[in-house]
A and B are shown apart, each in its own frame.
Chain A
Amino acid sequence: MSKIKLKLNGVDREVEADPEMPLLWAIRDLLGLPGTKYGCGQALCGACTIHLDDQPIRSCVTPISRAEGKSVTTIEGLSPNGDHPLQKAWIEFGVPQCGFCQTGQIMTAAALLKAIPKPTDKDIEQSLSGNLCRCGTYTRIRSAIKQVAGIKETT
């Protein structure tokens, strides 16, 4: 067991945990934020995506020790009022179906648009392909990202 200090959604937190405990479980079980989801535990589905110092990571395989002294952002901290442009676009396009994968999708998309404000279809494909959606909302995710990026879709 170790005491790990990190900044969670802008707030300094300290948590006592097995340093190998994946951030996902620390965030959900110890730090009380359930918006980040468990989908596979092997970095294969992206449902657990959060930002570590602004970079997307799969929290289900990232040991909490890696977050020592760093800044962690979960879906709960992406925007103060759920009004990140991507969140608004997701609502407008009716993107989610069951919704389970969507927090991970949004966290990845947010990082994509920060790094590449006008991504090509290829960029979107390459960056989002780590995020699975069993309900099949990919085409709407793509449209929502392009809308926020100000890219006109060809019909």
Chain B
Amino acid sequence: MTEPRLITRRDFLGNSVLVGVQLSAFGLLLGTRVSRAATPLDSNENPAMGFTPNVFVHISPTGEVTIVCHRSEMGQGIRSSMPVLIADELGVDMKQVKVVQGDGDKKYGDQNTDGSTSIRNGYENMRLMGATARTMLITAAADLWKVSPASCKTEHGFVLHHDTGRKTSFGSLAEAAAKLPVPKKEDVTYRPTSELKNVGTNLPLLDAPAYVTGTAAYGADISIPGMLIAVIARPPVVGGKIKSYNVDKALKVPGVKKVVEMPPATLPYAFQAWGGLAVVADNTWAALKGRAQLEIEWDEGANASYNSDEFRKELSLSVSKPGKVIRKTGDVEKTLANASKRVEAEYHVPHLPHVPMEPIACIAHIHDGRCDIWASTQNPQAAQKEAARVLGMPEEKIHVHVTFLGGAFGRKSKADFISEATFLAKKMDAPVRVQWSREDDIQQDYYNTVSTQLLTAGLDEHGKVTAWRHRTAFPPIGSIFSASDDQPDAGDLQQGVLDLPLSIPNVQGESCKAPAHVRIGWLRSVYNIFHSFATNSFMDELAHTQGKDMRETMLELIGPPRLASLEELGIPALKNYGSPLDKHPVDAGRLRHVIEEVTRISHWKGHKAEGRTLGLAAHRSFLSYVAAVVSMKKHPDGKVYVDEVWTVIDAGKIINRDRVRSQMEGAVLFGMSIAYYGAITMKDGKTEQSNFDTLKLVRMKDAPRKIHVEIVESELAPGGVGEPGVPPVAPAIINAVFALTGQRVRTLPLSSTGLV
């Protein structure tokens, strides 16, 4: 096979780089190499090659420990976290470890890096992988020394015999260990958690040296001799098709080789490629210029009548009527009818785009009866499956190599771009890199859905909330799998409508109809974004109505610490992010705790009297609990800005404290972009935004002066970290805006009010 030019062949250059100061007692940089070479895990056959107890761990006879990270690295720090858990359990220092990115392979289990699942679903299994390796190494040493395994332990890559102090390296035991049978799960011993030295501490960013030297390879950084580059003109309206085209001008651009018609997408779209015309050239510039020269007439299709303004009215109408009741306790309608006071508010959040910093790029190379793909994909299995389908090849012949991802947020779990690259590689009989432009990324995205919600509360004569009704209308994700799916279900409402503990006797959650006119996808924290926006804004509005403090109202509405049962929640079941309720209950106590903590560290008490303008919000998502306080101030020109943010996360057990902190910091900025600028709007079915001038993101000048992150110490089962930081941010901002200006913003983004 032709060896691709792999950027990361350079040895990690960092022996001289000291990381000491801010981080743990490591002192030295983790000696890791980022490599795309064939993994030493390929063969278990020859013990002389080393010890491979499972697909995640390999120890060579020279003592080199290789650990596979099987989940995609998109900035959440999975490569800096999961291998540490394994290494700690095994008894080796990270500086002795080489981390290798796992190819798409069923042997690793589900590699779909989505839904904040990697650590919460993989924690126990990864410990098992490390513990199995340790158990076998100890067995090998114990056999060698004729001592009991119980008298041995591992540390720093050695097995030590407790009584005599003798030690021997993992490397020297590798061959012997390789000959041993792999013990069953029940026969594997785990370290006491207190002996997991590095787990839970601040740990270095494994790939920092590669990032800062430009040697980390992303989707567009892999080159193969003879490679062609394709840039595709896709239908501007979802479901549109080519009517006619002229490629004469495009073909005249030097470097352009061919223009290829892409197969049109058919309903239901799911993750199919989008269709259109591909300009294939020998360099990217030529392909881009060539595409600009295409003359295409589109048959826009049914979605050409989709206009965001009109659809907004449709959504309002939808929530103005009773929907399908998904959550019910007591009798909300009766209570509302008899309430002393009724508070109602409608909230609207537009479609949101992913906009990862790295626009999509991937390369497919078909040769010698196999296909090699290099892609910044979140889901190697989906990539494998789609490539196999397009090429008519068995999945085992499709080799998906996962590069670094320059951000993803849910966009890159779809295999549409894999589909494009493999189709074109076959057509051109050459390796093809498909390069998406920024305009493509913004205009052909699986947008987070658009939503309108109606929150209604009834208050009694004492101002106490006695009824709470939450109606939510949004085109569900299910619509890409079934065109007729136009109503969210319980599995959708689990994100912030059903799992909100409320100490209110009459609660109702309803889903209302909303048909889809674009491909709906999922953006970092998904439906939680707008559900949290509505519930937290509404609680703030209720507090204002009651003449109370938001913190006080929130804690009162959530109620006392308790595990909210299904009965209490008024639902027959809870999807609970795929986790059993007994493992991850709806814990009002943990939700209260993050609220109490964040208001403590932000000195919430008495803030109004001090003239500080703060906003508070809290939300449970992906089995973690997060609360945020935002302090907003005004510029001389009247525009508002975020000055300081405090955020507290309870994610149960964590691995890399500094990566958790960075995720929370990042989530603040991410939430700010949603609040300030987040909007994808359609006119005549076409996305109105196209690049960073029309789709703005927050910049350095918008960054808060200070972000304080607190991580709740916990031994509970791990919850998600990548997404939960996001949902509280926008409502905390909006609540702070209200405190600062008296203006209640119920429609995002803020930029439409002129306040930012």
Contact = CB atoms under 8 A, between A and B. Distances in A.
Interface of A: 1, 18, 21-22, 25-26, 28-30, 32-42, 44-45, 47, 74-76, 81-83, 86-88, 90-103, 106, 124-126, 128-142, 155
Interface residues of B, number: 79
Interface in B8-34: 13-14, 16-23, 29
22 contacts: A22-B285, A25-B285, A28-B284, A29-B285, A34-B214, A36-B214, A37-B218, A82-B213, A91-B19, A96-B207, A96-B212, A99-B75, A99-B210, A101-B357, A128-B700, A135-B357, A135-B407, A135-B666, A135-B670, A137-B662, A138-B699, A138-B700
B273 to A, nearest CB: 21
A39 B700 contact: no
B74 interface: yes
A141 B75 CA distance: 15
Nearest to A33: B214
Interface of B is mostly: loop
Contact of A35 (B21, B204, B214): B214
Contacts of A83: 16-17
A100 B692 contact: no
Nearest to B662: A97
B211 A125 contact: no
Given A37-B406, A99-B207, A134-B355, 16 more contacts: A18-B255, A25-B284, A36-B214, A42-B693, A81-B13, A81-B16, A82-B17, A82-B212, A86-B212, A99-B75, A102-B211, A131-B699, A134-B356, A134-B407, A136-B668, A139-B665
Interface stretch (B327-335, B549-557, B702-710): B702-710
Contacts of A97: 75-77, 662-663, 666
A134 B14 CA distance: 27
Interface centre among A1, A34, A94, A142 (most CB of B within 10 A): A94
B658 A94 contact: yes
A138 B357 CA distance: 14
Contact of B437 (A26, A41, A95, A135): A41
B283 interface: yes
Contact of A91 (B73, B205, B288, B356): B205
A37 B208 contact: no
B213 A87 contact: yes
B209 interface: yes
Contacts of A138: 669, 699-700, 703
Contacts of A132: 357, 692, 697, 699
A133 to B, nearest CB: 7
A100 B218 contact: yes
Contact of B691 (A44, A130, A136): A44
Nearest to B204: A94
A100 B658 CA distance: 19
Interface in B461-484: none
Nearest to B708: A155
Given A39-B359, A140-B662, A94 B74 contact: no
B405 A98 contact: yes
Interface in B392-406: 404-406
Contacts of B215: 35
B732 interface: no
B216 interface: yes
Given A45-B357, A92-B19, A136 B665 contact: yes
B669 A29 contact: no
B304 interface: no
Contact of A34 (B217, B288, B357, B701): B217
